Structure 1
Amino acid sequence: MRVGNNPHKDKTQEQTTFLHQVIIPVYIPNQEGYFKDSLKILKLCLQSLLKTIHNKTYITVINNGSGKMVIEYLDSLYNNGKIHELIHTENIGKLNAILKGLAGNNIELVTISDADVLFLDNWQLETTKVFRALPKAGVVGIVPQFNMFKNKCGTVIFDNLFNKKLQFIPIKSTEGLIRFYDSIGWDRSYNADYLKYSLGLEKNNTTVFVGSGHFVATYKKQMFQEIKSYLHFKLGGNSEEYLDTMPLKYDYWRVTTYDNYAFHMGNVFEDWMSEISHDSNNKIAIDSNFEQNKIANSLIVAVKNKVFFKFLGSAFISRLFYRWKKLPTTMIKNYSTIALSQYKN
């Protein structure tokens, strides 16, 4: 039976003091083969995160069916107050794990990261600077990559097509680019021009690259007010498409910081990973209340990201675009067309 009333009945939640959430799904089922170094890399990931975030950051880790050693390590972090939320589940898939982490709070910014990211100093500060300088930014990456402007970037290119500040600019961190593609197993036979220039945008004294990857990026949490409850793929498929297309529905821009603020480690430990140092004095919290868009008219979204992008993707038009946006003439013929073969709307 029940006696009396629950003292918390009908009471509203207190406003959170956290400004930023970081969600990291973890799947390390064993310490063999592909996963041999994964626990060591996970530890480097979380250690680097703890060294580079301000004290208004809420850390959520989702154990997505990992083995005993990983569970014990994550439990120790939670029990010692290093992370704020730890969710244990069977292997339900990367994006389903992320969806669990997204629910249950109203923190304005959320960084979604793989468990093999090595965070560098100032990543959080530079990310929030971009959101402040570019009110239409909905997702901000911290690792520049090749040709990011060719994927899900119809909105930002359409909105800035006649803006002289939208143009090809020199890559700032060639080392960061090289390390990223080494980490995912590419040899270095790719077009060397991609290490020199990419499409950038300058606004309010802040420079960014157009487009963003999704292995580590920060989103306006408002986009996930109505989230899916389940996605069918454990990894890949259309699961990552969900994160990539959500900003478009709100007419947001996908951009990346001009400099490189993280490294992708992959699944094999290398000595340089443990040699990265951090400055504990640079954890600066920036105020919140960034501008938010409402869900955009579906026709506008289609025009910018299907009709316009298809037009821009023709070989002839894309070459004109490259020339107009100041890509060096010697590089134009070596760039592929705007639309990637794997681009999907």
Structure 2
Amino acid sequence: MRKGNNPNKDKVTSDDKFMHQIIIPVYIPNQKDYFKDAFKIFKKCLQSILETVDFEYTYISIINNGSCSEVEKYLLILKEKGEIQELVNTSNIGKLNAIYKGVVGHNFDLITIADADTMFLSGWQQETIRVFNAFPKAGTVGIVPQFNMYANFCTNVIFDNFLQKRMQFFKVAEPTKMQKFYQSIGWNMKEDHYYLQYILGIEKGEVKACIGSSHFVATYRKEILNLIKKYVPSKMGQNSERLLDIAALNMDLWKLTTFKNYAYHMGNVYEDWMDEVSFLKKRVEIQSNGLKKNNTSKLSFLVKNRIFKKLLRIKIVNDTFFKYKGLPKNVLLKYGRTYY
């Protein structure tokens, strides 16, 4: 029997003060072998978020994707303290499916998705917003510059700016930090590697951005995530994260990355340098512009991402493009074949 009316009936849900959501899926089933340092690294990830974001605008969602009881208890304490706004506990349903649980039910302008071994650096939120505001066609903005990112679902960015002087090869702003990323994934990259010298980027006024973005940490406009299917049958790998990589391209929007490095990938082994990084919280001004509908015809998509891509794969065309955009000849000669 029902008696009376539910007091919440017909009330409108409102989280207007939040414009930026951060989603961190975490899977730490135990604290041994591969996961020996994972909990400690995850705590450092959360510390870096809590000490660098503007809480007035930021909504933090942690998706506990089947972690052990120690992790679950720790997250519950953070939720009770109000340090995170949302905690979702689930069985291990896979990384992408866990991310979807954080996206559904909200309506934030920007959504940052990051791995649980990401260390955010001071100013990352502020600079991410600057890039979105400077480039209205930005759909995805990363914060860790990497070489050859332009070859990962970015032919529309290159096509749109092919004749524009604002797109060119720039000297890498922080080669040591870029090198640090590759060391974190087990690569033995020397300090003088030619990939650490120049990067394809774009500038507008005082704002520079690299073309392309990785998916271990990036911020997305809410509209492009609406197009992603809501179930992935694999827990990790099998190109499941390709869905995030291609999301901006499917709306003819650009994938960019901040010109300077604003995060570290920590991996699964805790190192002394991680205790030496200090954080400084910065005031963030988020402009809630919303994304204007981008009407992309099938013909336009075909030209940019099929025909133009095939042209760029022709070596003489690729080399001519690189020279036209300012890549020095001595560096160009070292570049291997680029696949777009």
**TM-score when normalising by structure 1:** 0.95
How far apart, in 2, do the equivalents of 1:295 and 1:258 lie? 29
Query: What residue identity is the alignment partner of 1:169?
Result: F
Matches within 5 A, 1:70-219: 70-188=71-189, 192-219=193-220
Matched residue SS, 1:139: strand
Equivalent pairs counted in the alignment come to 339
Alignment-derived partner of residue 54 in structure 1: 54
Matched residue SS, 1:200: strand
Alignment-derived partner of residue 39 in structure 1: 39
In the TM superposition, residue 334 of structure 1 has moved relative to its aligned partner by 1.3
In the TM superposition, residue 10 of structure 1 has moved relative to its aligned partner by 2.7
How far apart, in 2, do the equivalents of 1:191 and 1:334 lie? 12
In the TM superposition, residue 189 of structure 1 has moved relative to its aligned partner by 5.8
Deviation string, structure 1 residues 159-192 (Cα, Å, up to 9, x no partner): 0000011111000011211110000011126981
Query: What residue identity is the alignment partner of 1:161?
Result: F
Matched residue SS, 2:237: coil
How far apart, in 1, do the equivalents of 2:206 and 2:63 lie? 37
Alignment-derived partner of residue 343 in structure 1: none
Greater mean alpha carbon deviation, residues 298-307 or residues 270-279: 298-307
Contact 1:166 1:325 in 2 (8 A): yes
Query: What residue identity is the alignment partner of 1:120?
Result: L
Matched residue SS, 2:268: coil
How far apart, in 1, do the equivalents of 2:98 and 2:84 lie? 17
In the TM superposition, residue 291 of structure 1 has moved relative to its aligned partner by 3.7
2:327 matches 1:327: yes
How far apart, in 1, do the equivalents of 2:314 and 2:227 lie? 36
For structure 1, the 5+ residue unaligned runs are: 341-345
Across the aligned residues of Structure 1 and Structure 2, the Cα RMSD in angstroms comes to 1.5
How far apart, in 2, do the equivalents of 1:294 and 1:9 lie? 36
Contact 2:140 2:255 in 1 (8 A): yes
How far apart, in 2, do the equivalents of 1:26 and 1:291 lie? 30
How far apart, in 2, do the equivalents of 1:165 and 1:294 lie? 22
Contact 2:133 2:287 in 1 (8 A): no
Matched residue SS, 1:59: strand
Query: What residue identity is the alignment partner of 2:28?
Result: I
Matched residue SS, 1:111: strand
Matched residue SS, 1:110: strand
Query: What residue identity is the alignment partner of 1:157?
Result: I
Alignment-derived partner of residue 303 in structure 2: 303
Query: What residue identity is the alignment partner of 2:13?
Result: Q
Greater mean alpha carbon deviation, residues 210-219 or residues 284-293: 284-293
In the TM superposition, residue 263 of structure 1 has moved relative to its aligned partner by 0.5
For structure 2, the 5+ residue unaligned runs are: none
In the TM superposition, residue 145 of structure 1 has moved relative to its aligned partner by 0.5
Deviation string, structure 1 residues 216-253 (Cα, Å, up to 9, x no partner): 00000121235422101111113111111111111100
Deviation string, structure 1 residues 104-144 (Cα, Å, up to 9, x no partner): 11110000000001110000000000000000000000000
In the TM superposition, residue 278 of structure 1 has moved relative to its aligned partner by 1.2
Alignment-derived partner of residue 274 in structure 1: 275
Percent of paired sites with the same residue? 49
Contact 1:62 1:98 in 2 (8 A): yes
Matched residue SS, 2:246: helix
How far apart, in 2, do the equivalents of 1:173 and 1:66 lie? 35
Query: What residue identity is the alignment partner of 2:264?
Result: F
In the TM superposition, residue 13 of structure 1 has moved relative to its aligned partner by 2.3
Greater mean alpha carbon deviation, residues 282-291 or residues 84-93: 282-291
Matched residue SS, 1:61: strand
2:27 matches 1:27: yes
Contact 1:106 1:221 in 2 (8 A): yes
Contact 1:148 1:213 in 2 (8 A): yes
How far apart, in 1, do the equivalents of 2:293 and 2:239 lie? 25
